[in-house]
Amino acid sequence: MSNSKSRELAQPEGRFDEYVQQYALRRPLQEEFTSRLLALVKSLLESLGLEVHLIENRTKDIQSFRDKISRASKKYRDPLNEITDLTGIRVIAYYEEDVDKVCTLIEDEFDIDRDNSLDRRSGVRPDEFGYQAVHYVVKLSESRRTLSEWHPFVEFKAEIQVRTVLQHAWAAISHKLQYKRESDIPDVLRRKLFRLSALLELADDEFMAIRDRTLALTQDIEQRLSKGDRNVDIDLVALDEFLRTSEEVTRLHKQAVSAGFKYDFEDAADSISDLVSLCNHFRLKSISQLEDALRSSTDWSRQYLKSQIAPSKTEWYATDAFICKLILIKVFRTVVDVQHLLEQGWDEEIASRVLGVASK
């Protein structure tokens, strides 16, 4: 009797080993599928012109595969074909509206396994625990399956998750807390977690509202500046538009290039923020005042920029905002010192040299 029972217990373990060996042999191909699918998703998002925060990917490792098929709560007849998340892609978008766009793209470009896909944003009770996202199980579209480069993967499935940054944060933290279901939560903590979930959902909505308001402000500033209105308060949005459209900035840009400055557009946003701070320090409140200060350099800016770069034995990388800062330092030399530039993140040697040239 005991021998018979031993054989009964050994048979499932033997099947597990067989499935695991099959997956181990297939896994290199699965990894290639993951890599190609990741590249495809990135390409599709780029074609849509949609910027997302992050795209993650993973191919289920062999131990995870073994753990999944050995769970008593789930029986697989053909795990290599029944398990749908051997390849996983996660798209983390900035806004809920972008999640909708990504979902539309996925539904247009892939065959969706509706039975195994889940949109957790729909049908949610107001007090339901957890923060929602969209989980698709997909296969290649019929048109893509006919292409020779995709032929090895025509039967492969993948899970594609789509969520916002805040949804991702909730998922990561709740996973760390190990609360998967509402029934898992101690009563003393349930209300706090419900409130936190609601706050995150509200924050997602408010971030979209702020984005839309920022766009409206940008359009208003564009119109005002295009009509010659310079009585615009200096802030990040206003300076960004001013730097793109100002004739004075264009003049300084040409002179800086002629002097030998190299332009680095990757640091443009940080440089604009620093320019806002410097304008505040010099009590320049409006675009009109800033433009007047830059225009006052007409007779000396060309030679001044050459003098700034002349002592250097290395290349100077700059942005239009940085060139404007150099001009303002010269115009307001008596009210700026090394300590102020250090507080803005300048290197002490460079700050001293810039101020030295500005003093001449």
Per-residue tens of pLDDT for the chain, all 360 residues = 334 333 333 335 567 788 999 999 999 999 999 999 999 999 999 998 999 999 999 999 999 999 888 875 677 888 898 999 999 999 999 998 999 999 999 999 999 999 999 887 665 554 454 557 899 999 999 999 999 999 999 999 999 999 999 888 887 777 666 555 556 667 777 777 777 777 888 888 899 999 899 889 889 998 998 888 999 999 999 999 999 999 999 999 999 999 999 887 766 777 899 999 999 999 999 999 999 999 999 999 999 999 998 866 678 888 999 999 999 999 999 999 999 889 888 889 889 989 999 998
pTM over 0.75: no
Cβ atoms of 253 and 320 closer than 8 Å: yes
How far apart CA 38 and CA 45 sit, in angstroms, is 11
Write the DSSP string, 148-165.
GGGGGGTT--EEEEEEEH
Joined tokens for residue 153:
């993967």
Query: How far is residue 165 from each of residues 42, 210, 264, measured CA to CA in Å?
Result: 17, 16, 28
Cβ atoms of 89 and 37 closer than 8 Å: yes
Ranges in the chain annotated CATH 3.30.460.10: 2-193
- Which CATH number describes the domain made up of 2-193? 3.30.460.10
Q: Give bridge partners of residue 263 from the DSSP assignment.
A: 318
Write the DSSP string, 15-67.
HHHHHHHHHHHHHHHHHHHHHHHHHHHHHHHHHHT---SEEEEEE--HHHHHH
Q: Largest alpha-carbon pair distance within the chain? A: 104
